[in-house]
Amino acid sequence: ARAWSLKARPQGMPQHTDFAMITIPDRPLAAGEVRIANRWLSVDPYMRGRMNDVKSYVPPFVLGEPMQGGAVGEIVESNADGFAVGDKVQHMMGWRDEAVVPAAQVQKLPAIDVPEQAFLGQLGMPGMTGYFGLTEVAAAKSGDVVFVSAAAGAVGSTVVQIAKARGMTVIGSAGGADKCDWVRSLGADAVVDYKAGVPVVKALGEALKTVGADGIDVYFDNVGGEHLDAALAHARMRARFAVCGMIEVYNSGAATELRYLARLIGNRIQIRGFIVSDYMDRQADFVRDMGALVAAGTLKREETVHDGLDAMPDAFLGLFSGGNRGKMLVRV
Ligand code: NDP
């Protein structure tokens, strides 16, 4: 099998030279293992954190070893009870074309009538992040004015649509006019194009006027920095912020100064960070709820697909330049 490994720990924005393709020698399956031909591989912003040699909620990638990540594939050989050749599964041994995995670390795909790669996006980790982040962490409810950044991405586009389905007013931010048009087509009531040269704090103020609101009740943060500051500046009394990600700082390490941080006090704003794994015990509820919406076409699913294992670093790097609409994926 072939796999991507990390050759060097990136400084700042990762470069192609930080990655190397390696060969994993074939070996017979041990008891309880399955061999999986990966069909779809996920690239996610959190993987940037695993490239640093620092303690975090997931251990760093080991230099020279195959990297890991979400994958969907088909079992081609099984030495485990309950798993048969042909079963469609998901697991965490991505960044490679074929994986040998203990069956205990493999999940069969739920029997829902959607394309299999949806389980890496809207019906997988990013979808769950949007779903629980919005409804539980931010406790968003009908009537709320919700601001969401990276609204054209995997998590953000799901947040926009769940919020609309649940009767909220939604303002989405994304980079560029095309992406903003697409966010509107998902149902957003207003958009902020943060690449249009207008400070986010000003653009959000304009957007709020167009929806007839004096501020936001909920901020779903995927970006941090200037977006977070703008959300603080426009937060209503007792606003709730779900801090999901801060992609603006993943490559720089430095956070933008927050001019409006003191608004936390007067406006009694609640800010809560979370990790999607906090909600793992409720995955079945999520798959049932969202599965019905996705299968019925109520939620629009969008993917940006790179073809072939060789293209995986391109796909990953594209996350930091906005190269994706919806979920960024690699088709093996
Ligand atoms: P996306 O599909 O949203 O891809 C990343 C997007 O971020 C890009 O398309 C780009 O969109 C935007 N972006 C990149 N750099 C910047 C920047 N400097 N400023 C503003 N926007 C930028 O990725 P995901 O949906 O997978 O993840 C979204 C966020 O959620 C990330 O921060 C991620 O780390 C976080 N996350 C957190 C989880 C948790 O458990 N807490 C779980 C999953 C994700 P554009 O073209 O609009 O700039």
| N-to-C CA span, the chain | 12
Report the half-sphere exposure of 324 (CA within 13 A, side-chain side).
30
Distance 123 CA to ligand 1 centre (A): 17
Cα angle 173, 290, 313; round to 5: 55
Q: Are 125 and 44 in contact (CB under 8 A)?
A: yes
Question: What's the complex ipTM?
Answer: 0.99
- CATH code 3.40.50.720 region(s) in the chain: 125-277
Which of 293, 211, 242 shows the shortest CA–CA distance to 140?
Answer: 242
Q: pLDDT per residue over 28-84, tens digit each?
A: 999 999 999 999 999 999 999 999 998 888 899 999 999 999 999 999 999 999 999
Is 260's C-beta closer than 6 angstroms to any atom of ligand 1?
Answer: no
Which of 189, 255, 191, 202 shows the shortest CA–CA distance to 233?
Answer: 202
- CATH code 3.90.180.10 region(s) in the chain: 2-121+302-331
Q: pLDDT per residue over 258-317, tens digit each?
A: 999 999 999 999 999 999 999 999 999 999 999 998 888 889 999 999 999 999 999 999
Is 256's C-beta closer than 6 angstroms to any atom of ligand 1?
Answer: no
State the pTM of this model.
0.97
* 125-277 is a CATH 3.40.50.720 domain: yes
* 2-121+302-331 is a CATH 3.40.630.10 domain: no
Is 68's C-beta closer than 6 angstroms to any atom of ligand 1?
Answer: no
